[in-house]
Structure 1
Amino acid sequence: MPNFKLSLLTLALTAGGLVALPAYSAQEVEDAGKKLSPTEAREKAKAAAAIETIEIKGFRRSVVDSINTKRFSTNVVESISAEDIGKLPDSSIAESIARLPGLTAQRLDGRASRVSIRGFGENESATTFNGREQVSIGDNRGVEFDLYPSEIMSGVTVYKTPNASLEAEGIAGVIDMQTAKPLSRERTIQFNGQYEMTSFDKLNPDGNDAGGRGTFSYIDKFANDTIGVAFAYSKMSSPNQEKRWNAWGYPDFTVAGKNYSVLGGAKPFVRSSTLDRDSALLVIEAAPTDKLKMTFDALYVDFTDKKILRGIEIPFAWGYNRGSSALEVDPATGFVTKGKVTNEYLVVRNDLENREAELSAFGLNLDYNLNDNWSLNFDASHSSVSRDIWSFESYSGTGRGDKEGVGDDLTYEFKPGNTGATFSPSLNYGDYNLIKLGGPRSWGASTALNNKYGLTESSIYYNSAQDGFLNTPTVDDELSALKVAATQLLDDAGIFTKVSYGASFKTRDKDKKSEGYFMTLKDFPAMVSVPEQYRLGTVSLDFIGMGNMIAYDSGALLKDGYYNLLAESLTNQSHSFKTWKVSEDVVALYVQTDLEAEIGDIPVTGSMGLRYLDTKQSSQGTAFGVASSGLIVSSPTDVSHSYSHLLPSLNLIFDVAEDQTVRFGAAQTLSRPRLDEMNASVGATYNPSKVDDNGNNWSINGGNPLLEPKEALGLDLSYENYFSDEGYFSIAYFWKDLSEWIFDGTYEVDLVGVANPSTGIVPTNSKASGSGKANGNGGTLQGAEFAATLPLNIVSDVLDGFGLMASYTVVDQDIKDLKGLDYQLPGLSKELYSATAFYENSGFQARVSARKRSNFKGEVYGLGFDAKQVDVKGETIVDAQIGFDFGEAGYKELDGLSIFLQGQNLTEEPFVSTQGSAFKIGDYQDYGSTYLLGFSYKL
């Protein structure tokens, strides 16, 4: 029998009856009389685990594969595996990732999209595809996972602790999506299909409440198994619908010494959207000799998200103040729960939004074994994405501006449960004779717009020529990378068994352009009845008490020439802020060594490494100001900056007992600044006669191209017990010391060569004092994770096929901003829960999953598609699936065929954000539930 020492934790758990210690056999530590090294023992256990899981199918097979990935990784990882390509446990990659211990997701338009790891938002983690860093369709680095099809992926691994060889950096971790490797798979031809529908009937007459998905995949090997090919094509048309309460805000006021909060205005609407996505994946592997292996992979995604939004903007305290009054007030909070307004003019909205993106990613990897001790690796990759948004607002009402039309007398009352307010209008907004095309508010405050139509302040139509708006931001993101690496096996080198060396170069360019257009009816200033051919009937706003409102094809009206356009950027400086280019060149060098040793009788394995990063960044934008004419004038800017970092890392695994390990990780990590905060576009003022406290004539506000990465020293300690082939439990503690975080602050930048926007003259003093984002300060974050997978067959053979998976994470932070004030990390929920109960036997499959997170600060799209932080209430999402595999059930004539029914968000959990306090509801978004009926057939 082997001689080893149990940890105090193991002994305590054993005494409590929580751990059953299996008996050791001599064969498990010796092989043909030879004692195995720790590395050999782990490799032997890997091989044994692979053999033991061959007969396990379906979801249970995915669970076992995920457990083995976690168990045999040098890093602290979580994993999702697919039994076959296109058969990840969920229809969305983000949904699957969000169930992993310590991870969660924020919903965007009803879909899980942005992933948080251990309390950090998506911008503090990196995303890779087959180990290569990926571009993003947003303004920043954080990946929106609904762009990536789960139907063609074979797995996802989340690295919670880094090592020196990982080709991406993130304080939170790295999420790696993986494709199938055809040389390690058998020939497979597979068809997957799904029918998808929402629980809501069509909320818009031209929307969709049903859609579908289809996937074809082919894997094969040729030439005596020296060439492998995997191909997958997936097509999806996924509907999504929403009933949304949205508040403009809640102004405070004081009456007779008492403070009150009242509804400033509201913009509730119904949304129908369809996400269309075509995806193609190709993987080619070739092993022409025993020494050489080549892999080429290519991914293409064509993504379109079309939204139809119809609703009514309802002013109250921020309206025309024509007799608004409070009818009921909560005495404890001073919040006006019921109010009334008279003779108010509402804006009927028929809006469209198209978000289109095209992504391509290519990679070539070569592995060559020089001899028994040396191997070489070369990797080249390129990924790019282009995104175009076309967001169109069309206004209609009873009259133009604030001088014409029929006013409404209406009341509002907040519903119980903080779900928003209901209204009692006096007008019929579904009457095409009453509601006509045109802007019923005076909110088009543009000098250029007024000048175009000859409007002066004495005109009744002054600032009333905006009948709609068209927003057209674009993003292009490209990343190219090269990597060379060498690995040497070490003989007689003490505790070190292998050393790896590598160098890589990455270059990334992200280019954003922002523009918007005022829309004015060609018949201005007349209001226009909606022509018959564009009428679509009405939509119901009964969920907020507004009854029906007119619905028309606003996109067709624009296409057919009913509107004139005028660029908003002529007089609005926000587009200059949001137009920029950021470039990064990163050179990385690393060395990493694997080790194995024994401390007493405890085998220890792991790795230690050092990664050096040299970064050169630049940003091109504009310095702009406002001329006396009211028009925007600008001068180009180009600011460069460079920095370097050393990132040491250590991962150790202590095999304290059979199937029980203690892991320790320590690493210096970084997260690069948000790209939109690094831009060189600034509002600039040059005052030759005034010098500020820093001795500068320039003062600017906007982006800061001198930002450097956030940094953190992280420690991880965990205990893992693999008490069966299908089960484990773990306890983990993590701690991070955060520094150089990015907050609102001041900085200094050199605007050499930049002309004074107002005069066009380049001043001699080029130093500028800026206000915006700046590095500094930080704090600590710590937390604990508890996770377990329990196959109930260890309790009784009668329960074979039943299982439970659960995790709980608690996170705490103590971070101060540059002013010494408490700061809350975006994406941080103090508590995360996840649980899945499943049964799988004789072809029948069933599971129900729930994930819960507490309140957090989330990011949503604001005006002009700016990233906007809001307070998001905690939520619990419940999904379920049942399925049947005919082959596993013994129907040989139907072998390869399986069917399933899945329900998502079965409890219809809303997305709720607040504005400063729990009763000030900013958004209450009700998505209903989604149902999918699908099949898979494998030849």
Structure 2
Amino acid sequence: MKSKVTRASTLARLLSLSSLPLLSLGLVSQAFAQDSDTNTDETQSDQVFELDAFVVRGGYAGSLAEAAQKKQMAPVVIEVVAAEDIGKLPDTSIAESLARLPGVATQRVNGRAQIVSIRGLNEDFVGATLNGREQVSTGSVRAIEFDQYPSEVLTGAVVYKTGDASIVAGGIGGVVDLRSARPLDYRERKIVTSGYYEWTEFDALNAGSERDGYRYNLSYIDQFDDDKWGIAFGYAYTDKPGQGKQWNSWGYPNVSTDVDASEPNVIGGAKPFIRSSTLKRHGLLGTIEYQPNDRVRSSVDVYYTNFKEDQLLRGIEFPLYWGGLNPEPGFTVENGLITEGVFDGVKGVMRNDIATSESDIISVGWNLKVDEVLGWDLEFDLSHSYIDREGTVLETYSGTGTAGQGATDTLGFRLMGDTGAVFSPSIDYTDRSMIVLTSPQGWGSDVVPGGQLGYLKTPTSEDKLTQIKLVGKRDINLLGFLNTAEWGANLTSREKFDKEQGYYLAGADGATELPLPENTGVSDLSFIGVPGQISYDPIAVLNSGVYERIENPNADVQAGDWNVEEDVTTLYGKLGLDTTLFGMPLTGSIGTQFVYATQTSTGTAADGVGDDVVSMPVEGTSSYWDFVPSLNLVYQIGESRYLRFSAARQLSRQRMDDMRAGIDFGFNPALANSTDVTESPWSGEGGNPELEPWRSNSLDLSLEQYFADNMGYVAITGYYKKLLNYTYNLNTLKDFTGFPTEGVDPVLHEGYVSKPVNGPGGEIKGVEATLSLPFELFSDTLTGFGVVLSGSWTDSTVRQDLDNPATPMPGLSEEVWTATLYYERAGFSARVSTRYRSEYLANVDTFGPRGRTFRTINDETVVDAQVGYDFADGSMLEGLGIFVQGYNLTNEPLSSYSNGDSRQVIDYQEYGASYAVGASYSF
């Protein structure tokens, strides 16, 4: 939220980031003047790593040096996350680590980083691989949820920001390649184990929940038979608690003139919750490598994750102005908004809800490399990735009586600036004698007489992907500057289905009111001014048999189920170049991909509600070709100074739920004789199996200076993406021939359907700046201190809605920056990191995986810190490290507002800080 950024914090941010280029100029001259052997005393526990051309000490500084070297040596623009040691990425998931990279931003879901945006492009434009192999996703879209991947079993990640012919996974924003250990790359056996105790700042907000948890991991690497065989094994378990306070309003409509002639805005309703969650995740990754000689190397990787999250939500939903009520006379109006007043006759809907999701991810891959086969170095890779996800979303309602009966509340309200509202109820919602299980508002009365007592959804999804890749490489000497040739063929076959069953909950035997269960408690809702409410275990009540489940037969549910299959064949060729320009080295590559894809979707076309639903199976198919050229150049214009240039076509394939064939259609017999298509009896909305990929012509120019002994670097990158198309929901004509008409023969068989289509694109452009600086470059007395700063600024002409030019692309923050200050010496280490992103459009719907509700999220600054100590080599506790961690230390909320008024708060979610203490042992 703009009002939350103080002048001091804004000034500090601008000074630190805008000064990067000026600061780097001074550092370059000093860095080259440094003696690389100035500081030779090895402090305790400073493990030495030998990289390609230099030696650095281990720990966090070592991981930064390794990341800098990989960035320096890369033929394209990349960012790197490198672990301090195996099993020692400190975050609970790789998403938290990615969030600190330049140009990368994450959206928090239930308090943890989950959804990744790169250069202003959201998860739909971000590809993801594991050891170069495409991965399936647990959601209804392509994008993987990065919190499914425990950081402890990974050795790092590489974010490819520019295109290259050999990168077959699509991603206009970028491609994130998660990396695991290659055991034969290590020279000795390595075993690391660690454990953490975690707790949340908030006490357990819901009865039966916990505020503390734990996680532990074990990593093992070894080599056998004179280093011909190698094995790597990693296991990580997390039992992580979560507590949160969630304010949500229905919106702020204008009141009618008979309420107030000036028509001020007023709160339409509220749905606040307290949330308690438990995340349990098992992560397992194993690798076997075999290298009998210098020509042959083979490996098998197996990755498995079981991810289960249980959320318990309790609160009271208050229908207010949009519930048919007017504020009582005497309300307070401030600048066009009613900020304080009273609603009379309020029937609150007390909610005891639960949302669970459990998924299993399996990824298996076999890689074989054989050199010098008819002059070519060959590589064959076969992989399969699979997920199965099941979920439960349960709502249960209670109140003072069914619709039109029972006591009503005289509810006072007061808006509290940028945090939502507090209420003053006249009803005691903790009084068992006046509360029953019922439908206070009569919702769903078209299906359940008197209204539903709750609702149950059981979403399921399955996603499987098989990938086969063959690559050949060799050295050549062509035209005096082309030195390598590479070709490849990649076949990816993927099938995904998504299904959701819904049930209205009715009272058994037609009862509209049921008694509360015997075991009840009280949930504290004081954060919204309500002392408390009756709470109970919703699953226990569901399983007790007091409800009758009535399957939701409505057309929108049936039409929402889908199956999508796609086969993508990619052929590519690439030539490497190595020459000089004005006496300076120039390297790079030029290549192209030829992509052929076929895609098919099956689903249901349905019309109507209840017993009147009619349906039929539908199918759609499409195919397309793409020519995807790329040019990458690296020009060394000085000592450790590089100018990188990239020009490439980039692709991102569409969301799979948008590619569904299903359609929720309507037929109006009263218009059967119409001859005007704008008055057609046919209408509907659905998906589009003929969607083609997003395409972009992209340019990148990067200037990078690496300091002496690769101890830090400064980089400035400009990027420009010309999106050739974007996806919009538009009304398009559809032929309804063969669709059911209830016995009526219409004149027209065409009508307009709202569906996603490929439309006009636009431009995305921006600048990134990064500085990684160990302070020992200035003075030996500052050895151990260092800072990593990055900032990115992005602008876009692409809009989410053609009819609303002010609506930006989802996921785009115009400004993203990160800062990490660290100290590491004599076994002691400490660092504090902060990351900021400006406001952005995000999907905040939480009612199951299919929801898509976009709102503008306010800017946020998240602060994390870690302090640790590694005991010295040769001491009694050699190999032991202890540490303390803190996340979200300032309790940064996730918030949004409407109508351009920060007082009109839609969402305000507080997660609280979380803390961990732990120890690791390596031997």
SS at match of 1:677: coil
1:240-259 aligned at under 5 Å gives the runs 240-255=242-257, 257-259=261-263
Check 1:767–1:320 CA distance in 2 against 1; reply closer, same or farther (3 A cut).
Answer: closer
* Percentage of pairs with the same residue: 39
Compute the displacement of 1:751 (Å). 6.3
What is the identity, as a one-letter code, of the residue corresponding to 1:521?
G
1:42-53 aligned at under 5 Å gives the runs 49-50=51-52, 52-53=54-55
Compute the displacement of 1:849 (Å). 0.2
What is the identity, as a one-letter code, of the residue corresponding to 2:555?
Q
Q: Which of the numbers 494, 513, 517 marks the counterpart of 1:508?
A: 494
Compute the displacement of 1:99 (Å). 0.8
Compute the displacement of 1:897 (Å). 0.9
Q: Which residue of 1 aligns with 2:729?
A: 744
CA-to-aligned-CA distance 1:20-42 (integer Å, 9 cap, x gap): 177699xxxxxxxxxxxxxxxxx
Q: Which of the numbers 476, 481, 491 marks the counterpart of 2:462?
A: 476
Q: Which residue of 2 aligns with 1:893?
A: 876
Higher mean C-alpha displacement, 245-254 vs 364-373: 364-373
Q: Which of the numbers 339, 343, 348 marks the counterpart of 1:341?
A: 343
SS at match of 2:903: coil
Check 1:864–1:692 CA distance in 2 against 1; reply closer, same or farther (3 A cut).
Answer: farther
Structure 1: gaps of 5 or more residues: 1-11, 26-46, 451-463
Check 1:792–1:230 CA distance in 2 against 1; reply closer, same or farther (3 A cut).
Answer: same
**Alignment partner of 1:824 is 2:825:** no
Q: Which residue of 1 aligns with 2:644?
A: 663
What is the identity, as a one-letter code, of the residue corresponding to 2:287?
V
Check 1:230–1:553 CA distance in 2 against 1; reply closer, same or farther (3 A cut).
Answer: same
What is the identity, as a one-letter code, of the residue corresponding to 2:646?
G
What is the identity, as a one-letter code, of the residue corresponding to 1:232?
G
**Alignment partner of 1:921 is 2:905:** yes
Compute the displacement of 1:446 (Å). 2.6
8 Å contact from structure 1 (residues 624, 757) kept in 2: no
Distance in 2 separating the partners of 1:765 and 1:164: 49
SS at match of 2:107: strand
8 Å contact from structure 2 (residues 566, 598) kept in 1: yes
Q: Which residue of 2 aligns with 1:621?
A: 603
SS at match of 2:515: coil
Q: Which residue of 2 aligns with 1:467?
A: 453
Higher mean C-alpha displacement, 691-700 vs 539-548: 691-700
8 Å contact from structure 2 (residues 674, 747) kept in 1: no
Compute the displacement of 1:819 (Å). 5.2
SS at match of 1:64: helix
Q: Which residue of 2 aligns with 1:425?
A: 425
Check 1:760–1:514 CA distance in 2 against 1; reply closer, same or farther (3 A cut).
Answer: farther
What is the identity, as a one-letter code, of the residue corresponding to 1:188?
K
Q: Which residue of 1 aligns with 2:826?
A: 842
CA-to-aligned-CA distance 1:710-764 (integer Å, 9 cap, x gap): 1111100011000132210011111111121111213355667x53264599x99
SS at match of 2:321: coil
Distance in 1 separating the partners of 2:886 and 2:744: 61
**Alignment partner of 1:938 is 2:922:** yes
What is the identity, as a one-letter code, of the residue corresponding to 1:17?
G
Check 1:484–1:371 CA distance in 2 against 1; reply closer, same or farther (3 A cut).
Answer: closer
Distance in 2 separating the partners of 1:435 and 1:245: 23
8 Å contact from structure 2 (residues 120, 812) kept in 1: yes
**Alignment partner of 1:291 is 2:295:** yes
Compute the displacement of 1:292 (Å). 1.2
Check 1:444–1:269 CA distance in 2 against 1; reply closer, same or farther (3 A cut).
Answer: same
Distance in 1 separating the partners of 2:24 and 2:786: 24
Q: Which residue of 2 aligns with 1:681?
A: 662
Higher mean C-alpha displacement, 811-820 vs 201-210: 811-820
Q: Which residue of 1 aligns with 2:273?
A: 269
Distance in 1 separating the partners of 2:435 and 2:592: 67
Higher mean C-alpha displacement, 16-25 vs 274-283: 16-25
Given the two structures, how large is their TM-score scaled by the length of structure 1? Answer: 0.90
**Alignment partner of 1:376 is 2:378:** yes
Compute the displacement of 1:559 (Å). 1.1
Distance in 1 separating the partners of 2:239 and 2:876: 32
Check 1:16–1:374 CA distance in 2 against 1; reply closer, same or farther (3 A cut).
Answer: closer
8 Å contact from structure 1 (residues 468, 520) kept in 2: yes
Compute the displacement of 1:135 (Å). 1.0
Distance in 1 separating the partners of 2:821 and 2:883: 16
Distance in 2 separating the partners of 1:287 and 1:154: 21
8 Å contact from structure 2 (residues 881, 920) kept in 1: yes
What is the identity, as a one-letter code, of the residue corresponding to 1:838?
Y
8 Å contact from structure 1 (residues 661, 719) kept in 2: yes
Check 1:194–1:764 CA distance in 2 against 1; reply closer, same or farther (3 A cut).
Answer: farther
8 Å contact from structure 1 (residues 131, 167) kept in 2: no
Check 1:410–1:276 CA distance in 2 against 1; reply closer, same or farther (3 A cut).
Answer: same
CA-to-aligned-CA distance 1:247-278 (integer Å, 9 cap, x gap): 11222234265231111110111000000011
Distance in 2 separating the partners of 1:938 and 1:757: 71
Q: Which residue of 2 aligns with 1:911?
A: 894
Q: Which residue of 2 aligns with 1:17?
A: 26
8 Å contact from structure 1 (residues 292, 368) kept in 2: yes
Distance in 2 separating the partners of 1:840 and 1:14: 23
SS at match of 1:892: coil
8 Å contact from structure 1 (residues 625, 757) kept in 2: no
Q: Which residue of 1 aligns with 2:633?
A: 652
CA-to-aligned-CA distance 1:783-802 (integer Å, 9 cap, x gap): 01111011000111011010
Q: Which residue of 2 aligns with 1:611?
A: 593
Distance in 1 separating the partners of 2:696 and 2:807: 16
Q: Which residue of 1 aligns with 2:778?
A: 795
Cα RMSD (Å) of the superposition? 2.3
Compute the displacement of 1:695 (Å). 12
8 Å contact from structure 2 (residues 675, 747) kept in 1: no
Q: Which of the numbers 522, 544, 560 marks the counterpart of 1:578?
A: 560
SS at match of 2:264: strand
Structure 2: gaps of 5 or more residues: 1-20, 35-48
Compute the displacement of 1:287 (Å). 0.9
8 Å contact from structure 1 (residues 140, 674) kept in 2: yes
1:474-873 aligned at under 5 Å gives the runs 474-491=460-477, 493-522=479-508, 524-525=510-511, 527-532=513-518, 534-535=519-520, 537-568=521-552, 570=553, 572-626=554-608, 630-685=611-666, 689-690=673-674, 693=677, 699-724=683-708, 725-748=710-733, 754-756=738-740, 758-759=742-743, 769-815=752-798, 818=802, 821-865=805-849, 866-873=851-858
Distance in 2 separating the partners of 1:71 and 1:932: 34
Compute the displacement of 1:325 (Å). 4.8
8 Å contact from structure 2 (residues 93, 148) kept in 1: no
SS at match of 1:17: helix
**Alignment partner of 1:260 is 2:277:** no
8 Å contact from structure 2 (residues 700, 720) kept in 1: yes
Check 1:788–1:516 CA distance in 2 against 1; reply closer, same or farther (3 A cut).
Answer: same
What is the identity, as a one-letter code, of the residue corresponding to 1:633?
V
What is the identity, as a one-letter code, of the residue corresponding to 2:623?
S
Distance in 2 separating the partners of 1:833 and 1:317: 41
Number of equivalenced pairs: 879
Distance in 1 separating the partners of 2:805 and 2:558: 31
Q: Which residue of 2 aligns with 1:123?
A: 124
What is the identity, as a one-letter code, of the residue corresponding to 2:101?
L
Given the two structures, how large is their TM-score scaled by the length of structure 2? Answer: 0.92
What is the identity, as a one-letter code, of the residue corresponding to 1:850?
T
Check 1:432–1:386 CA distance in 2 against 1; reply closer, same or farther (3 A cut).
Answer: same
Q: Which has the higher contact order (CA 8 A, sep 6+)?
A: 2
Q: Which of the numbers 200, 203, 206 marks the counterpart of 1:204?
A: 206
Q: Which residue of 1 aligns with 2:193?
A: 191
Distance in 1 separating the partners of 2:547 and 2:96: 42
Higher mean C-alpha displacement, 521-530 vs 655-664: 521-530
Higher mean C-alpha displacement, 187-196 vs 681-690: 681-690
CA-to-aligned-CA distance 1:821-852 (integer Å, 9 cap, x gap): 35411100111110000000111010000000
8 Å contact from structure 1 (residues 611, 646) kept in 2: yes
Compute the displacement of 1:370 (Å). 2.4
8 Å contact from structure 1 (residues 369, 375) kept in 2: yes
Distance in 1 separating the partners of 2:481 and 2:682: 59
SS at match of 1:515: strand
SS at match of 1:705: coil
What is the identity, as a one-letter code, of the residue corresponding to 1:426?
S
8 Å contact from structure 1 (residues 915, 921) kept in 2: yes
Q: Which residue of 2 aligns with 1:461?
A: none
Distance in 1 separating the partners of 2:885 and 2:509: 51
